[in-house]
């Protein structure tokens, strides 16, 4: 029994002691990476080489670079994948190459590099998801290689016989040769005098400080030359379509030429520092992609204008119903095409630049406020664009339709992205925001049934002979243009109301085309008034009531 109790006690002791004995391994995995030894092929580092915190490691790299002490800088790298006998020679070379890549292609935010051994972020803001937690790996920047993105990262490593230190990760060291080959000094930069490759100001070298204005001036000159060349070609061609296309692409071609030159220089010939490249490279890509898409849009617009030109066609006529529908659909297709081009262009630009990958946390921190500001500023523009697409889909108004908008008789001339252009009957043009037009009640005389009844309302005296007016109206119908009249069986004359001043006589005029019905009604009203005056003269009675202005009011 005693042996059984002893075995049970030992089992319980081992059970509870197991987690205790595992604590060192768990702590190692939570706070640093464990290795048996770190860079055994290197001579022991100097005492002033500080690797205790991430910021200290970065400062040590900068200090070693200023002294050109690459042997000491090699201790800032994890050389685990390099044979021990080669670590001393290759470590110094890799440290120099890594410092070159970092200084040229990254923009380090020192506020994100903690000066604590555990790299714990004490700030508990929403854009720092790891706030309050120790870290053993810290991402500094991301650079694109040919097939995959390469991270520049610091890791906290503890050798068995030493304290934990922050060094550049093994994966980063593996990518250094390829990164240096891609982003290191180009062959033209190597040909520059040594004096131009020294530090000038703002972390830039003299050749960058002097070469950037020259590059901008050269890009402007190239853009101007492209403009002149395209203009010369357009003046020499005899084909109207080709001439119009060339003139429409002068702007995008000149911008594309200038930005393409800048892109070739910064990506193939010279490698500018991160402060310049982070801004210049995305701008160059944006200019190239944007100019190409702008050129495509302008060319398509010219072709559509050439083959679907309705400027010399009166779309208000009822015979042009098919052309009205075609013009409206083409306008809608143009808007959809432009929106699609903008979305495609934005996607291409984002895929060609990695600025958002590296500044993602900063952008996320300000994304809410920025979205609100941009949304508030562009709410009317976005609302007009959506309303324009809504009109194109529901066909509530088409180009050429005759409408009554706010008591003004107009026909629709244009339906653009942000405004609708209306032509009033007197020749004046109304420019109405699409959002306001879509949300305002209006009468569409052309929509659905082409035929309509125009009602001519006259105030007649109580003793006026309605039968005589009815006969006169029937006669007037025979005098009007038969092509503009609708079904004459729908014509009638009715007494709609009566008061002490007289009676309201309505003349229903059937019109075949709503777009010409107003003119036809005006002509019929003129003839009816003349016929009523003739009846009054022949019969010696008043057809229209005789009242004073005060009584009429």
Mean pLDDT by 10 residues, the chain (553 residues): 43 38 46 89 81 92 89 92 91 92 81 84 58 82 82 92 91 92 77 74 72 87 92 87 86 90 80 71 82 83 68 54 64 70 68 51 46 58 68 73 84 78 84 83 72 86 89 92 87 90 91 82 92 87 74 56
Q: Helix, strand or coil for residue 416?
A: coil
**To which residue do tokens 């009523």 refer?**
532
Q: Helix, strand or coil for residue 99?
A: helix
pLDDT at 323: 61
pLDDT at 526: 93
Report the sign of the C-alpha dihedral through residues 368, 372, 374, 379, in that order.
Answer: positive
For the chain, the domains span 54-184, 211-392, 452-552
**To which residue do tokens 């005693």 refer?**
2
Report the sign of the C-alpha dihedral through residues 334, 336, 341, 346, in that order.
Answer: positive
pLDDT at 202: 65
Partnered with residue 415 across adjacent β-strands are 420
Instruction: Tell me 268's DSSP state.
Output: I
Q: Residue 154 — left, alpha, or beta (φ > 0 → left; ψ -120 to 50 → alpha)?
A: beta
pLDDT at 228: 92
Q: Helix, strand or coil for residue 149?
A: strand
In this structure, are residues 527 and 476 in contact, taking their beta carbons and an 8 Å threshold? yes
Q: Count of CB atoms within 10 A of residue 516's CB?
A: 18
Residues whose CB is less than 8 angstroms from the CB of residue 12 and which lie 6 or more positions away in sequence, other chains included: none
Q: CA 102 from chain center: how many Å?
A: 31
Q: Tokens for 307?
A: 């083959």
Distance, in Å, from the CA atom of 66 to the CA atom of 55, rounded to the nearest integer, reads: 17
pLDDT at 541: 80
Distance, in Å, from the CA atom of 261 to the CA atom of 184, rounded to the nearest integer, reads: 20
* Fold of the CATH domain 452-552: Alpha-Beta Plaits (3.30.70)
pLDDT at 406: 87
Q: CA 276 from chain center: how many Å?
A: 24
């Amino acid at each position: 029994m005693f042996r059984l109790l002893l075995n049970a006690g030992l089992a319980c002791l081992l059970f509870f002691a197991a987690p205790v004995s595992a604590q060192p391994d768990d702590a190692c995995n939570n706070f640093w990476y464990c290795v048996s030894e770190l860079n055994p092929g290197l001579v022991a580092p100097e005492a002033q080489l500080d690797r205790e915190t991430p910021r200290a490691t970065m400062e040590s790299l900068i200090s070693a670079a200023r002294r050109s002490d690459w042997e000491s800088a090699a201790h800032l790298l994890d050389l685990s994948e390099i044979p021990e006998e080669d670590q001393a020679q290759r470590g110094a070379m890799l440290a120099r190459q890594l410092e070159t890549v970092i200084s040229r292609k990254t923009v380090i935010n020192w506020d994100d590099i903690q000066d604590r051994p555990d790299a714990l972020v004490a700030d508990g803001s929403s854009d720092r998801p790891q706030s309050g937690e120790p870290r053993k790996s810290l991402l500094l920047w991301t650079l694109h290689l040919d097939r995959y993105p390469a991270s520049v990262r610091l890791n906290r490593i503890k050798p068995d016989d030493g304290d934990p230190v922050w060094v550049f990760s093994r994966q980063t060291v593996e990518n250094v040769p390829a990164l240096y080959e891609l982003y290191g000094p180009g062959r033209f930069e190597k040909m520059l005098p040594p004096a131009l490759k020294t530090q000038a100001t703002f972390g830039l070298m003299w050749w960058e400080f002097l070469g950037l204005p020259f590059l901008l001036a050269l890009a402007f000159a190239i853009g101007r030359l492209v403009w002149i060349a395209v203009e010369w070609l357009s003046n020499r061609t005899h084909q109207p379509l080709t001439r119009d296309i060339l003139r429409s692409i002068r702007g995008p071609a000149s911008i594309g030429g200038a930005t393409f030159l800048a892109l070739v220089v910064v990506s193939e010939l010279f490698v500018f520092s991160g402060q310049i490249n982070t801004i210049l490279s995305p701008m160059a890509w944006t200019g190239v992609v944007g100019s190409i898409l702008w050129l495509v849009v302008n060319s398509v617009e010219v072709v559509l204008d050439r083959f679907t030109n309705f400027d010399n066609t009166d779309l208000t006529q009822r015979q042009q119903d098919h052309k009205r529908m075609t013009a409206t659909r083409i306008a809608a297709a143009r808007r959809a095409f432009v929106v699609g081009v903008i979305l495609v262009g934005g996607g291409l630009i984002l895929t060609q630049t990695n600025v958002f990958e590296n500044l993602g946390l900063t952008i996320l921190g300000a994304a809410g406020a920025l979205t609100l500001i941009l949304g508030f500023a562009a709410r009317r523009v976005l609302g007009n664009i959506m309303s324009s697409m809504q009109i194109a889909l529901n066909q509530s108004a088409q180009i050429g339709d005759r409408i009554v908008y706010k008591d003004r008789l107009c026909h629709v001339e244009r339906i653009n992205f942000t405004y609708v252009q209306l032509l009033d009957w007197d020749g004046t043009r109304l420019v109405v925001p699409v959002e306001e037009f879509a949300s305002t009640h209006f009468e569409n005389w052309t929509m659905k049934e082409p035929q309509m009844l125009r009602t001519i309302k006259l105030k007649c005296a109580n003793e006026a002979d309605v039968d005589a007016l009815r006969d006169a109206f029937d006669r007037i119908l025979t005098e009007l243009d038969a092509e503009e009249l609708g079904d004459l069986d729908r014509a009638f004359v009715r007494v709609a109301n009566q008061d002490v001043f007289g009676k309201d006589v309505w003349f229903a005029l059937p019109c075949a085309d709503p777009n010409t019905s107003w003119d036809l009604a005006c002509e019929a009203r003129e003839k009816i008034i003349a016929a009523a005056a003739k009846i009054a003269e022949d019969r010696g009675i008043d057809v229209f009531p005789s009242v004073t202005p005060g009584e009429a009011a």
